């Protein structure tokens, strides 16, 4: 059994698709996230509303003979803390450029208007 997603990596979102492969038929598949009770996998799974920080994931599978196997432990991190400040910085920068352009346009317009009526 191999976990494809998530990987041992850092994600900037709070939802991650759970994707894996199993090399034989199973009677049951489940996963444990952060050492919590096993959750049975029935259909495609999205691990959602994940908190910032480190998370641990193991998938369990029971074959038709009753043997239980486990995947390797996947340790992944959710880090969304810098997302909003960086977006605010971009908005503030664009607003500053727009205001500077407006002030420059008003100055040029005023200067042209003033020189025309001297």
Domain CATH code at residue 39: 2.60.40.10
> Which residue(s) pair with 63 in the sheet?
26
pTM of the model: 0.66
- Number of domain units in the chain: 2
Structure-model confidence comparison of residues 40 and 104, the more confident one: 40
Containing structural domain, residue 57 = 2-78
Q: Is the same domain home to 44 and 100? A: no
Rounded Cα distance, 85 and 118, in Å: 49
Do residue 56 and residue 94 come from a single domain?
A: no
| β-bridge mates for residue 74, sequence order | 57
18 vs 91, higher pLDDT: 18
- 84's tokens: 């909003």
pLDDT tens, position by position, 65-109: 999 999 999 999 999 875 555 667 777 778 888 877 777 778 777
Residue 2: partners with Cβ closer than 8 Å, 6 or more residues away? 20, 21, 71, 72
pLDDT at position 28 is: 96
């Amino acid at each position: 059994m191999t976990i494809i997603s998530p990987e041992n990596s850092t994600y900037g979102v709070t939802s991650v698709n759970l994707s894996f492969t199993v090399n034989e038929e199973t009677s049951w598949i489940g996963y444990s996230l952060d050492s919590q009770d096993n959750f049975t996998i029935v259909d495609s799974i999205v691990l959602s509303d994940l908190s910032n920080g480190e998370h641990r994931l193991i998938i369990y599978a029971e074959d038709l003979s009753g043997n239980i196997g486990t995947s390797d432990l996947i340790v992944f991190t959710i880090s969304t803390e810098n997302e909003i400040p960086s977006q605010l910085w971009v908005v503030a920068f664009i607003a500053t450029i727009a205001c500077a352009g407006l002030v420059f346009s008003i100055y040029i317009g005023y200067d042209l208007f003033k020189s025309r009526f001297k």
